[in-house]
Structure 1
C-alpha cells in the first residue's frame, strides 16, 4: 500500500443543499499554501458527504446544487503538485439525499423507527447496508475510480454501522439464514454479517483496480470484532475526539493499545474543534491539541487532525495557525517516531472479545487503564487470539468469562510461565457457577453477602496502606481459598446491609469489629502465578477513583512483576511510554504531562501546560547504550546502567519530552 504520512488533516465537507455559495472562494494556490504553512502532508478530501452530494464532475450522481466546478479534482491536482497525499472520503451509513428519496432503504429499529432518528430530528438518518442502497454507494465509488484512477491515494469509507435492523431486506435475509428476527442476539449476529460483507465487497473491489490504495472503514472505534475482517483494512484510523461524551480522554489510550496488536499501520485522529465535528469557528486550546497529537506519537501512531472546510472553499487561517504550531513540532520529532514499536510487559484482556459492550469506553477498561497509566506501566489490550506469551502478566478485568477454549489458553499461558491478575467475575465459566480452572486458587461460594464490605490487607500488600479496614464500595464475590493458596487481604463484614428495615448514618453501615474476618478479598494461588481480587476494582476505580483500590492492585502487581519495563519518580498525572526503533536501533521513552480538567459540565479540556522538573527515570534496555539524550533537542543526559536499566534524570518536561538511548 501507499505509506501513511505523519501529519494529516481530515477535512470534512458536509454541506447542506440550502447553502448557495459553495466553492465561491476556492483558490487552489491559497489552499495548498495554507496546508504547507501548517506542515500538513496529507489531507482527506470529499467525494460525497453525509448530505448526499458529490463534489466532482462529470458525474451521473447529484453534485451539490451550488457547486459549478470539479472541486475534488482541483484539490487533488493542487495537493499532488505539492506532494501532499489525498485519500478520498465517501460516506456510507448516512446520506440525507438518498434517505429522503428512498425511505425504503432506511434501517428500521425493532420498535419500528425508520432511520434511527425520527422525522423531526435535525440529524442524520441511518441507511441499511443490506439494502439496494449499498449498490448505489459502490457505483459511486466506481465512478470516482473511473475519473481519478491512479491519482487516488486511498479511500476513507465512513459510518460503517449496522444496528439491529428489521427492514424488509433484513427480515427476508435473516429468515433465509435460519435466524430469528425476534432474537436480539440473532439480530446482532446478522448486523455483524452485513458489515463484514460490506467490508469484503468494497475492499476486494477497490484492490482489484487500485492495489496500492489505502482503505479504511470508519466506525468511530476499533472494536475487537474487527479482527475477523482486518484484512479488508490497509491501516486503522483511530477516531477519538476527547471533547465529547462519546470518546473522552480514556478512549484513545485504550483503543490504540488494542489496535497496535492487530499488526496494521495506525493513524490517530482528533479534531481542532473545541467540541466535535461540525463545530465551525471554534478552536481547541493549544495545549489540548498538543497533548492529543503527542499522545499519538507516544503510542506509535501517525497524526490526523479533523477540520471542516467552509462551504465557500477557503481554509480558516486561524485554524491552520493552530494546527501548524503542533505539526511543526511533530515534524521535528518524526525521526524518533517513524516506525517506532510500542513495548509492553503487561496485557489487559479486551472484554469486547467476549461480551457485547454498549458504548466505546468500557468502565472496567477505563479503570485498569488509569491504574496502569498512572503508575507508568507499559501495557497492551489483547483479545483471545493474540500471542499472550509476549507478556509477563495478563490482567482479566472484572467480567471476563472463560469458556473451554479461553480457559485452555489461560492454562497454556500459565504453564509457559505467564502470570495473571483476575478481578471480580473474571475467571468464572460463562454461566457464573464456578471458576473455570483450579489455577485461580479459590472456590466460588456465590455473590458476597454484604455490600459494601471492608478489606484488610495482610503484610504482603500493606506497605503503602494504613493499618485499618478500607471500604470496598462494589459488591464482590464470596470465595474460599483452596489448599495451598494464601490470603493477601481479608474482608470484614458490616453489622448489616443497608435496607429500608435497618440502616446506619448517611451511607454504608460501619464494619463490625467484634466479628472475625470473613471471606478473602485478595488471594494468591499455591504456584504464586495467579492473584485474584474478589471485587470489580477496575469498574469501581473508574467510577469513584478510590485510591486504595489502586494501591492494593499495584502492590499485587509488584509481587508478579517486580522489575517492570519502566520505573519513574514522576507524578501520577504523567504518562510515560516506551518504544523501540530498529533502524537506527534505539529506545525512545516519551514523557507527557498535560492534565485534563472538567471545567465545564460536558467534557474535560486542557488549558495550561504544567512543567515537571528533575524527573527520575529508569527503563530497560538489553545492553549499556553509548548515549542517552533528549530529543529533539539533542542534549546529552548523564546516566547509569545496572540490572538492565538505564537510570537517568530528565531535567524538564514541558508538556512532552522524549528520552533516547542508542
Structure 2
C-alpha cells in the first residue's frame, strides 16, 4: 500500500459478509495514516444490479457507520445504457448525505483509539469472530502488530492461530512484566512449534482428543445471566493443559463419552458430557496471562452461540478494567471512539441498526429509537464539555477524580444520551 495516496475499502455488506467487516478493515488501514474511503453501493445485492435498491434508512445507517469509523463515504451506481441518471437512486442517496453533512466533521480525519489491542492473524474466522464478539459487547479495540509501542495498551488479545506471538514474544514479556495483560484464544498461546509461547504456569499436553467438549465454570465469581448453570457445548475441543499449583482455574472442560461416529452415537448430534471434569481447564489465569483453551473466536464466527460470547466477555472485562469507552447497548449496538487532536476532541460514535437475514442478504429496514444510554469515557485529558451530535445538545456529565492506569492518568466523565435513532455521537472537547 506504500504507493497509495488513499485506501478505498470496497464493501457491499448486504451480500459480502455483513456489516461487521468494515470496522475491522477500517481500524487496520488507519495504520497507514492515509485517507480511507468506504466504497459501497445503492444496490440491494451487489454491483451491476439494475433496478435494485437499498432502503434510504439502510444507506443512511451505512454512511453513518463509515463516518463513525473515520472514513469518507462513496456510494456507487451503474449508469443505464441510455445514459440517464436514475432519480430514485439519487433521492435515496441524498437522504443519507443530508445526514452526513451534519456529522462528517466528527469522523473524517479521526483516528481510532483504544486501550485494548488485538493482534490480527489474517485468518477470516479467527479475526472476524473475535471482532464480532468484541463489537457485540461494545468493547472497543485497536489493531496491534509486531513492532508497535505496546505502552498505549492495557490489554492485548491473541486470536486462535499458532505462531502469532513469535515475532513479538520479547515485547509481550516486557508488557506482562510491566503490568500489562494478555489474553489468548485456542492455538494463539502456541508458538510455531506448537509449544506455549509465553510462560503460563501449565504443562501443555496436546490438542483435544474428542470432536467436541463442554465448559463448566468454577463456583467463584458472578455468573453472567447468559451462561447456563450446567456444562455448555463447544463445537471443537480444547487444548489440554495441566495447570500448575499457582494457576487460577476459571472453568473446567467436561469431555463427552465418545466422539460421534457411525459406530457410536447418541441422538442426532453430539454425545452428552461426562458428569466429572476432565482434569484440564477451559480457561485459566497465571498472573497477568489468561488462556482460553478453546478457539472461541472461530466458534463464534461459525455458530454465534451467546454462551461463548458471554463467557469470553465475562473473563476479559476484569482483565480490561479501564476501557476508554464503556457503553450499555443491546448486542446489535456498535461503538467507535475517535481522536481528532487538531480539533482537541474525542468523539464517541454510537450505532444501532440491527440487520435481518433475508435470503442471501443482510437487510437493514427498521431503525428504532434507543433511549437513556449511559456513556462513560476514560480519557488522558481533562474534558471541558460533552455535546450530543447531530442535535448539538450539551450533555450533563458526572466526573470522577483522575486515576492512574497502565496507559497513564485517566480522567473519567459519564453522561446519559437521552435518545438516538440509528446513530449519534458524543463529542468530548478538551
Q: Return the TM-score normalized by structure 1.
A: 0.60
Is it true that 1:232 corresponds to 2:3 in the alignment?
A: yes
- After superposition, residues 375-454 of structure 1 pair within 5 angstroms as 375-402=137-164, 404-432=166-194, 434-438=195-199, 440-454=200-214
Distance 2:75 2:163 in 1: 38
Distance 1:482 1:460 in 2: 19
Match of 1:652 among 406, 412, 419: 419
Match of 1:314 among 55, 77, 84: 84
Match of 1:343 among 86, 93, 113: 113
Matched residue, 2:386: 628
Distance 2:285 2:236 in 1: 21
Is it true that 1:524 corresponds to 2:285 in the alignment?
A: yes
Tell me: higher relative CO, structure 1 or 2? Use CA pairs within 8 A at least 6 residues apart. Answer: 2
Contact conserved, 1:261 with 1:382, CA < 8 A, in 2?
no
Match of 1:556 among 294, 315, 320: 315
Contact conserved, 1:441 with 1:523, CA < 8 A, in 2?
no
Distance 1:460 1:287 in 2: 46
Match of 2:259 among 497, 519, 522: 497
Question: What is the aligned residue count?
Answer: 418
**Which of structures 1 and 2 has the bigger CA Rg?**
1
The alpha-carbon distance between structure 1 residues 252 and 402, as it changes in their structure 2 partners (threshold 3 A), is: closer
Matched residue, 1:467: 229
More helix by proportion, 1 or 2?
Answer: 1
The alpha-carbon distance between structure 1 residues 516 and 319, as it changes in their structure 2 partners (threshold 3 A), is: closer
Q: CA deviation at 1:379?
A: 0.7
Q: CA deviation at 1:413?
A: 3.2
Distance 2:81 2:147 in 1: 46
Distance 2:7 2:344 in 1: 26
Q: CA deviation at 1:594?
A: 0.3
Q: Return the TM-score normalized by structure 2.
A: 0.91
Matched residue, 2:75: 305
Contact conserved, 1:441 with 1:530, CA < 8 A, in 2?
no
SS at match of 1:325: helix
Moved more, 496-505 or 270-279: 496-505
Distance 1:645 1:459 in 2: 33
Distance 1:390 1:472 in 2: 34
Moved more, 589-598 or 407-416: 407-416
Q: CA deviation at 1:334?
A: 2.3
Runs (5+) with no aligned partner, structure 1 = 1-229
Matched residue, 1:595: 354
Contact conserved, 1:461 with 1:556, CA < 8 A, in 2?
no
Contact conserved, 1:377 with 1:565, CA < 8 A, in 2?
no
Matched residue, 1:290: 60
Matched residue, 1:542: 301
Q: CA deviation at 1:258?
A: 1.1
Contact conserved, 2:66 with 2:72, CA < 8 A, in 1?
yes
The RMSD of aligned alpha carbons is 2.0
Which digits, 9 at most, give the CA deviation of each residue in 1:533-592, with x for residues without a partner?
Answer: 111111111111111111111111122112211222221111111112223312211111
More strand by proportion, 1 or 2?
Answer: 2
Contact conserved, 1:389 with 1:416, CA < 8 A, in 2?
no
Matched residue, 1:274: 44
Which digits, 9 at most, give the CA deviation of each residue in 1:315-362, with x for residues without a partner?
Answer: 22211111111112111212322322221111111112xxxx5xxxx1
Q: CA deviation at 1:490?
A: 0.8
Q: CA deviation at 1:494?
A: 2.1
Contact conserved, 1:597 with 1:606, CA < 8 A, in 2?
yes
Distance 2:422 2:375 in 1: 16
Distance 1:402 1:316 in 2: 49
Contact conserved, 1:522 with 1:533, CA < 8 A, in 2?
yes
SS at match of 1:232: coil
